[in-house]
Amino acid sequence: MASLLRSIVAGPRLRHPEAGLDLCYVTDNIIATSGPSSTYPQRAYRNPTDALVKFLDYKHGDKWAIWEFRAEGTGYPDSEVYNRIHHYPWPDHHPPPFALIPNIMASARDWLKDPEAKERVLVVHCKAGKGRSGTVACSYLISEEGWTVEDALARFTARRMRNGFGAGVSIPSQLRWIGYVDWWTKHGKIYVERQIEVLEVHVWGLRDGVKVGVEGYVEEGKVIKTFHTFTRDERMVMDPTAEGSTKPASASDHLNERTLPLAQGTAQSISSTTTKSSSGPGGSAVIFRPSEPIILPTSDINIDFERRNKATYGFTMVTSVAHVWFNTFFESQHSSTSQPDAISSPTDPTPTITDPNNLPESGVFEIDWDAMDGIKGSVRKGIRALDRLAVVWRAVPNQGSNIKIITEPAFGEPVPESKPADWTKANSNSEKNLGLRTESPTSEAVSRASSMVDMKDQAIKPHDEGDSDSEAGVRPHGPEGEEHIPHIPPTKQPTVSPPSFSTSTPTTASTSKNINNLTVNSPSPTVNLGIEMTHSPAHSPGMVRDVGLGKVAGIVDAMRAEKEDERHVPG
């Protein structure tokens, strides 16, 4: 029964024909897998933790370790993987706080490139083993192995995705972060974290009923906090014919003489565009200026949009959801949106890293609606809410000790690690989606170019998701790129017990595979790693056998939301 449920949830994904596990070898020493689970009902249709451990033990002995990135919780205790795990969690469908990247890269490098690290493998997982895992896997190949951005992304897609199901890493902000990693690698691996003030948010073609929020990371990146939601009083319509409009100051009013040419040029374009198209197709050109300073603790900034239309009986209809992440340190050095391909490697000669003690103090980030992130990382945003966005920012003056110069730890240096999320909370759900919502009594305080969520509950939100995630189309691969992972009996593994075998009648056919110039005869896919008969220590040995119709019904109910969202998975 559990095997049937996993097959149903897998949908278009090709499961491992021998082990039944959803994993792939990105390279011969990097494994990407969907997040395992030790609790029901998820355990019945996801990778059981003990089955994954048994597979890794059988294939790699004690030479494997896990890097996990789930701010929503892993779904299993560390003890079930021998405490051989490193935690760097951040919310699903979002890029990582960049301050985590140097530590993730250093810890992975130390594990794989230690002089005693022969045959070690790195196991990365988030929930689907796709967006967050792909971001880290590609970042490692770029920063530690010298791969180009294009080659790293292509490899991950080829190994993780089935043909016709799109890219392995597809979320625009995550792709932007991989471009940042490429720039960081080529410029000395120096990153500077500063407090940032958002001065203005310029929006062209803004439709009615759009809420505009400024968000950032807190709690080591595990939580996304809404620092400000703009209200009617903070809005200025740039159309001079509109009632109550005010001639806005250009963005350059906030950019001093040390601003980069990029930011200066952008500010001029903002000013000139105001007069030419003050009312974009279908909406107004608007400037939002906060009544109080908006100070974010890090250089990672998210601008969030949600559009609501009035419905009856105290409800509102959410018709648009979109957001965009950017990092002011990298945007002040090299714009990710000024090139035809924002993730391409720079073709100009590598410049010298800007003095970290003398960085540009302000800048402008611009992006079009079509390039923003959609619902759960997909391209689906709902009805168009705006045409273009520009964010004017500056570093908070006189920060002193609040400025952090972050470098990648060298070999032998201690590598900081994040505090793990509560593993038992892996299935909470608070991510935005389209549909009916209860109207908040405070929504009148938000401008016509805004709509209000229940701010009491949403000021700090973990941005978790249901059990849906972008899993459609992923597939397992072996270290040589083969469609499944052949089981090669280890020559010397006295401490590792062999896997259990299927109780079904075995076939006599065998296959011969050539791996690393060694011809190995292995049985046809009748080997079973004991997934159906293995269990978490937290459960009784007969739990799977005792799953009755009532439990199956509960499992199916838990799967319905997931299957519904998978219809909208980004291609």
The rounded distance, in Å, linking the Cα atoms of 336 and 117 is 36
Work out the pLDDT band at 391, boundaries 50, 70, 90. Answer: very high
Q: Which residues pair with 300 in a beta bridge?
A: 327
Confidence of residue 548 (pLDDT cuts 50, 70, 90): very low
Higher pLDDT, 506 or 153: 153
pLDDT of residue 512: 43
Q: Which of 121-125, 212-216, 220-224, 542-546 has the lowest mean pLDDT?
A: 542-546
CA distance 525 to 15: 12
278 or 64, greater pLDDT: 64
Exposure string for 35-61, b = 16+ CB within 10 A, e = fewer: bbbbbbbbbbbbbbbbbbbbbbbbbbb
pLDDT-derived band of residue 475, with 50, 70 and 90 as boundaries? confident
476, 33 contact by CB (below 8 A): no
Is residue 437 pLDDT above 80, yes or no? no
Q: Which residues contact 444 (CB under 8 A, 6 or more apart)?
A: none
- 354 DSSP assignment: P
At residue 56 the predicted structure's pLDDT band, cuts being 50, 70 and 90, is very high
pLDDT of residue 222: 96
243, pLDDT greater than 60: no
Say which range, 332-346, 375-389, 473-487, has the weakest mean pLDDT.
Answer: 332-346
Is the pLDDT assigned to residue 244 strictly greater than 80?
no
A 10 A CB-CB count for 517 gives 5
Q: Are 61 and 495 in contact (CB under 8 A)?
A: yes
Pairing of strands 510-515, 235-237: unpaired
Which amino acid makes up residue 463? H
Q: Give me 84's structure tokens.
A: 């051989």
Residue 554: what pLDDT? 56
Cβ atoms 126, 68 nearer than 8 A: yes
Residue type, 557: D
What tokens were used for 276?
Answer: 């030419």
What is the H or E stretch that residue 274 is in?
helix 261-276
Burial of 99 (0-12, 13-18, 19+ CB in 10 A): buried
* Bridging pattern class, strands 435-438 and 404-407: unpaired
Band the pLDDT of 562: cuts 50, 70, 90: low
Q: How far apart are CA 97 and CA 92, in angstroms?
A: 12
For the stretch 57-68, pLDDT in tens is: 999 999 999 999
Q: What contacts 170, CB < 8 A, 6 or more positions away?
A: 131, 377, 470, 570, 571
Q: Residue 99 pLDDT > 50, yes or no?
A: yes
Residues 334, 184 contacting (CB under 8 angstroms): no
Tokens of 335: 């714009």
Q: Which residues, in sequence order, are bridge partners of residue 228?
A: 214
Q: Which two tokens stand for residue 520?
A: 């190995």
For residue 476, the model assigns a pLDDT of 73
Is residue 556 pLDDT above 90, yes or no?
no
Q: Is the pTM higher than 0.95?
A: no
CB atoms within 10 A of CB 23: 26
Least confident among 293-297, 411-415, 489-493, 504-508? 504-508
In 3-state terms the chain splits into helix, strand, coil percentages (rounded to 5) of 25, 25, 50
Angle at 184 between CA 219 and CA 90, to 5 degrees: 25
Cα of first residue to Cα of last residue in the chain, in angstroms, is 30
Q: Which of 6-15, 352-361, 388-397, 466-475 has the highest mean pLDDT?
A: 388-397
Gap between the Cα atoms of 118 and 462, Å rounded: 39
Which pair of tokens denotes residue 570? 């980004």
Query: For the purposes of burial, counting CB atoms within 10 Å of the CB of 510, is it exposed (0-12), middle (13-18) or buried (19 or more)?
Result: exposed
Question: What's the rounded mean pLDDT across residues 225-241?
Answer: 88
Rounded CA gap, 235 and 461, in Å?
25
Q: What residue type is 396 in one-letter code?
A: V
Residue 446: pLDDT over 60: no
User: What per-residue confidence (pLDDT) applies to 558?
Assistant: 57
Nearest-angstrom CA–CA distance, 150 and 169:
12
User: Could you tell me what percent of the chain has a pLDDT over 90?
Assistant: 50
Instruction: Pick the range with the lowest mean pLDDT from 125-139, 297-311, 487-501.
Output: 487-501
Q: Which of 39-43, 57-61, 276-280, 376-380 has the lowest mean pLDDT?
A: 276-280
Domains of the chain: 2-188+469-484+498-566 (3.90.190.10), 193-406+430-461 (2.60.40.1110)
**What letter does residue 454 receive in the DSSP assignment?**
-
Determine the Cα–Cα distance for residues 499 and 487; give it in Å rounded to an integer.
10
Q: Is 405 helix (H, G, I), strand (E, B) or coil?
A: strand
**Tens digits of per-residue pLDDT, 449-459?**
443 333 334 44
Share of the chain above pLDDT 70, in %: 60
Token output for 194: 């500063």
Q: Which two tokens stand for residue 129?
A: 């083993």
Per-residue pLDDT averaged across 37-52, rounded? 80
User: Is residue 393 pLDDT above 80, yes or no?
Assistant: yes
pLDDT band with cut points at 50, 70 and 90 for residue 440: low
Per-residue model confidence (pLDDT) at position 144: 98
For the segment 77-106, the average pLDDT, to the nearest whole number, is: 98
- Could you count the other beta carbons within 10 Å of the beta carbon of residue 154? 15
Q: Which of 4-13, 87-96, 432-441 has the highest average model confidence (pLDDT)?
A: 87-96
Q: Is the pLDDT of residue 468 over 70?
A: no
pLDDT score recorded for residue 482: 66
Q: Does the pLDDT value for residue 293 go beyond 50?
A: yes
- Residue 57: in which H helix or E strand, if any? helix 49-60
pLDDT band per the 50, 70, 90 thresholds, residue 435: low
Q: Which helix (H) or strand (E) holds 68?
A: strand 64-70
Distance CA 249, CA 140 (A): 43
pLDDT, greater one: 8 or 191 = 191
What are the pLDDT digits (tens) for 295-319?
999 999 999 999 987 666 667 788 9
Q: Tell whether the torsion through CA atoms of 533, 539, 543 and 548 is positive or negative.
A: negative
Cross-strand partners of 316: 310, 437
Is the alpha carbon torsion for 350, 354, 181, 265 positive or negative? Answer: negative
- Res 316: pLDDT: 78
DSSP 371: G
Looking at the predicted structure, is the pLDDT value of residue 138 above 70? yes
